[in-house]
Amino acid sequence: MPELPEVEIVVRGLRQTVVGETIERVHLNNTPPASIVVSDSFKGGGFARALAGRKILDVTRRGKNILISLSGDVTLWAHLKMTGHFFYRDKSLPIDKHDLVIFDFRSGRKSKDGLNLRFNDYRRFGRLRLFPNDELWEQDGLKALGPEPLNLSADGFVILCTGKIRMIKPALLDQTFIAGLGNIYTDETLYLSRLHPRRLVSSVSRRKLVELHGHIQDILKFAIHKMGTSVDSFSSVNGQAGQFQKYLKAYGNEGKPCERCNAKIIREKIGSRSAHFCPRCQRI
């Protein structure tokens, strides 16, 4: 699943390509009913009809969520889930069977003529939701999100962790605790901090929490700089793959030697998720 850096790359790509465009029409291409959610406020007008004629004003991110602000105080809220993508492509290219939603824009901006935006998702877990702005932040999946890790101070992170009697990896994966982290970046930051993923948050010293906070911010910023991590299918809106996978030290490195001590990186299931770590450097 794309995490904060990958979603941020998509958001930046959308800002550069579609902000200022007006949606002329929306095509649904055998889109699963579960992929689209439309507020009852639109009174049965449907997804495509409710979007037609709206101008794209801005694109922002909250955690792993993409928020496309539209004219008329409406937001198109997207979650890429496992394999969702937004691709900005030439209209002349054939529609792929996984291009579930196609957004055509009004002509008029010469540099943008002949291009459209496609929501592509081969596993079909991604979601597009349309809500008036006054309803948006009351929706499950947004209203309970924890703080943004790049906006959180070291002191704020320590306060967030104080008294939390739960394992540290599941805590960092919990989007209501802190928003945007997933398996890749939790494994990497815990490795750099020499923290075992089963370590209880409440047992970690303030000094170590400050160190972890620093690694979280540094890793996320560096991953954004490297256009995200492409270990499965992630790419930007222009199809460019990420580069951060070249720098992974723990995630996906099961059986490979630890860079610090040469012990083999292991993979364990913790809760419902896997964790990659060094059993020697990250002792519990």
DSSP letter for each residue of 156-213: HHHHHHTT--SBHHHHHH-TTTSSS--HHHHHHHHHHHT--TTSBGGGS-HHHHHHHH
Contacts 24+ apart (CB under 8 A), 53-58: 53/22, 53/23, 53/24, 54/22, 54/23, 55/20, 55/21, 55/22, 55/23, 56/18, 56/19, 56/20, 56/21, 56/22, 56/23, 57/19, 58/15, 58/19
Other beta carbons less than 10 A from residue 53's beta carbon: 14
Number of H helices, E strands in the chain: 7, 11
Q: State residue 33 phi and psi, 5-degree precision.
A: -55, -35
From the candidates 3, 8, 188, 211, which is the catalytic residue? 3
From the candidates 64, 89, 118, 129, which is the catalytic residue? 64
Tokens of 195: 């923290």
Is residue 2 part of the annotated active site? The answer reads yes
Other beta carbons less than 10 A from residue 7's beta carbon: 24
From the candidates 81, 194, 273, 279, which is the catalytic residue? 273
Contact 175, 114 (CB under 8 A): no
Is residue 273 part of the annotated active site? The answer reads yes
Is residue 64 part of the annotated active site? The answer reads yes
Catalytic residues: 2-3, 64, 273
